[in-house]
Amino acid sequence: MRTGWGAQHERRTTNVPIPRAEWELTAGRLRIRPARQEELAQLGALYVRAGFTARLAGVVGFARARLGGEVFVADLDGDLVGVAAGAHFGASGWVGGVAVAPERRRAGLGGALTEAVVTNLRDRQAGTVQLLATELGRPVYERIGFVAEAEYLTLAGPSGAGGVPVAGVRAGRPGDRAAVLALDRLATGEDRTRLLGTLWPAGGLVAGEGALRGFHLASPWRSGGATVATDPEAGLALLEAVRRTYGEEISVSLPAGNRAGLLALAAAGFRERSGTTRMCLGPPLPWRPESVFGAHNLFWG
């Protein structure tokens, strides 16, 4: 008889069978459970072991503390060998920060962690769950039921002329918040009040006076950040302003469907560093890839 997390998860997702190898892990000494608060500081070392950057620990901790999400870990006799997290935006949510220690891969653990996050988000009434998958992770998510929706490209390139303002772009203000939220909802199809309400206007920029045509929200964990615009002119002005904000190489992630943004970055000397696939579980959101000139990060888009 199956007991513990495996049985509970199977009851909630009966349309998604649990692979045998995965069950043997969850039924033995390994447990999938929410991370304890004091364990969040340990996740940086786990991410490094898995080949990622330690700053992801801060990203997933922020998702739990500020974005209504949860962080799940794989606990093998007290040793944390896997992690995944969720961010919750009401009717939608994201899975991100999925990592498994190299010696524990190819046993279904990444899928088990992902399904734990999906179950948690669904319990919170998130009808649509999304993620950005690497080529290695995509087959895992397809087995769970995620469907490929779009490609994202991450490009790296030089900064611009520091301190030189861009016409039509200014620093964000607290009073811009309502307009910024409306622009973001139009572009993403999501209500990301939890994110924007927490960080705005620190590092924020806006394009246009009166009726705002776009905004940029800097990320605390990486160069670049969320950049959204109603038209290419405003989007490209914001990208140029972002380039002039940093004194060193920066990276920008945006949908492949935003041709204007990609061409402008290529002309500025940016080169493709990596690609990811945006995947969706549940009803697709009414988002506009041509309005997304930069993702906040590769966790929640």
For 76-115, the pLDDT digits (tens) are 999 999 999 999 999 999 999 999 999 999 889 999 999 9
Please state which architecture CATH assigns to domain 4-126.
3-Layer(aba) Sandwich (3.40)
Smallest CA-to-CA distance from 202 within 225, 181, 178, 230 is with 225
pLDDT at res. 28: 57
For 16-70, the pLDDT digits (tens) are 333 333 433 444 589 999 999 999 999 999 999 999 999 999 999 999 999 999 9
The residues with which 294 forms a beta bridge, in sequence order, are 227
Domain boundaries for CATH 3.40.630.90 within the chain = 154-294
Residue matched to tokens 């060193």: 248
Q: How large is the greatest C-alpha to C-alpha distance in the chain, in angstroms?
A: 67
Q: What strands lie across the sheet with 169-171, from one edge to the other?
A: 169-171, 204-207, 214-218, 225-229, 292-294
Domain boundaries for CATH 3.40.630.30 within the chain = 4-126
User: Is residue 101 within 8 Å of 49, Cβ to Cβ?
Assistant: yes
The residues with which 153 forms a beta bridge, in sequence order, are 254, 275
Residue range 154-294, CATH number: 3.40.630.90
For 123-182, the pLDDT digits (tens) are 999 999 999 999 999 999 999 999 999 999 999 999 888 778 999 999 999 999 999 999
Question: Can you give the length of the chain in residues?
Answer: 301
